[in-house]
Amino acid sequence: MDDLIRLAAFNWINEQKEIHDEILPRKLLEAGFTYQNQRVHVIGPQGIFTPQMMNLPLSITTSPKSKYSDRPVKEGVFEYSYRGTNLNHRDNVGLRDCMIFQKPLIYFIGIEPGWYFASIPVFVTHDDPSRLLFTVQADQQSVLSQSERMEDTDATHWRRAYATINTEIRLHQQGFRFRVLTAYQHQCSLCRLKHPELLDAAHIIGDREDLGDPIVQNGLSLCKIHHAAFDKNILGINPDYHIHVRNDILQETDGPMLKYGLQALDHQKIILPSHHRDYPDRERLEQRFDRFLKAS
C-alpha cells in the first residue's frame, strides 16, 4: 500500500507542475489529493512527514527561512537535519528506514514563503548520528504507470524508473524564474501577455558570464516569442528601458505578428516592475545592448 500511495503522490505532483508550473503553492500541497476515497496530504507542519495512510515518510521539507542547517553539499546531494536531537524520534527512525529500504521521497525546497520546488524522488543515502544529519541524493522522476509491478521495491527497481539529474540547476532556474515573473506581476514586459505558461525569465547577461547573477535585476519577464527575439538580437533594450527593433526587421513586410508583435514595439518603453529595486540593471542592459547594435 505504501508504495502505491507513494507512486500516486509522485504522479499527482507532476500533474500539478503541468497545471501550476514548477514552483507550487503550499496551500495546494497541504490540501493534497484523494486516493481510494481518502485524503492524502503530501506536506505537513514538520519537515519529515508521514501521511496517516502510510507507515514510512513520504516527504521532507526545507522552509525558506528554516532554522535547520539543510544545505546542498555537491551536485544533486543535500544534507538534511534530524528532527530535534533524539536519534530515535519516530521521524528520524522513519527516514532511517527509508534509507535501509531505499524508499523514494519528495523533497520540498522553499523558494519564497508559501512557495516550494518539488524534487522527485530523493533517496536517503547516509545517516550521520554524530552530526544529526542525513544525506539525501536527488533524482528525477520518469513516467510510471499504475500497472508497474510494485512488489519489487528495492533500490534497483526505483532507479530503473528514475534517472539522476542536476537538481541544483533546476532549483536555481526555477527560483530565478519565480522571482522575476513575480516582480513583473506575471506579464511580458514588452506586450503585457499574462499567461504564465507562455512566459520566461530571460537573462540580460547569461548565467555563465560575468554579471550573470540569478537576481531579478538581471532578468526580464518575456513571452516566449519576445524571449527568442531578444536572444537572437532581433530586438534590444537600451539602458533607458526603450525597445529597439533591428532595421532589417523593420523593413520586412509580413503578417500581423511581425507588424504588431515586433515592429510596433520599436522605441516603446518596457513595462517595469512595480518596485524600483527590481528594475533591470542599467549596466547589464548597456552591455547587452552593445551586442544588439553590433548584430544590427
Specify whether 140 is located in the same domain as 56.
yes
pLDDT category of residue 74 using cuts at 50, 70 and 90: confident
Predicted confidence at residue 155, as pLDDT, reads 45
Q: What angle do CA 86, 89, 93 make, to 5 degrees?
A: 115
Q: Rounded mean pLDDT of 61-90?
A: 88
pTM value is 0.68
How many domains are there within the chain? 2
Specify whether 150 is located in the same domain as 197.
no
Rounded CA Rg of the chain: 23
Query: CA 162, CA 144: separation in Å to the nearest integer?
Result: 9
Specify whether 80 is located in the same domain as 220.
no
Q: Which domain holds residue 104?
A: 2-165
Query: CA 34, CA 224: separation in Å to the nearest integer?
Result: 35
Specify whether 141 is located in the same domain as 193.
no
Is 86 within the bounds of a domain? yes
Specify whether 200 is located in the same domain as 115.
no
Residues 6+ away with beta carbon under 8 Å from 110: 61, 62, 63, 64, 65, 66, 116, 117
Is 178 within the bounds of a domain? no
pLDDT at residue 284 tops 60: yes
Query: CA 85, CA 92: separation in Å to the nearest integer?
Result: 9
Predicted confidence at residue 168, as pLDDT, reads 55
Query: CA 123, CA 163: separation in Å to the nearest integer?
Result: 12
The residue ranking higher by pLDDT, 201 or 174, is: 201
pLDDT category of residue 145 using cuts at 50, 70 and 90: very low
SS (H, E, C) 151-191: CCCCHHHHHHHEECCCHHHHHHHHHHHHHHHHHCCCCCCCC
Q: Which of the residue ranges 52-56, 69-73, 261-265 would you say has the lowest mean pLDDT?
A: 69-73
32-58, pLDDT tens digit by residue?
999 999 999 999 999 999 999 999 999
Is 283 within the bounds of a domain? yes
Predicted confidence at residue 93, as pLDDT, reads 97
Predicted confidence at residue 139, as pLDDT, reads 67
Q: Please tell me the total number of residues recorded for the chain in this structure.
A: 296
Q: Please, is 212 exposed, middle or buried when counting C-beta atoms within 10 Å of its C-beta (0-12, 13-18, 19+)? A: middle
Specify whether 199 is located in the same domain as 230.
yes
Phi first, then psi: give them for residue 103, nearest 5 degrees: -85, 130
Q: Which of the residue ranges 16-20, 30-34, 37-41, 212-216 would you say has the lowest mean pLDDT?
A: 16-20
Q: Which of 115, 131, 165 is the last residue of a domain?
A: 165
Specify whether 255 is located in the same domain as 129.
no
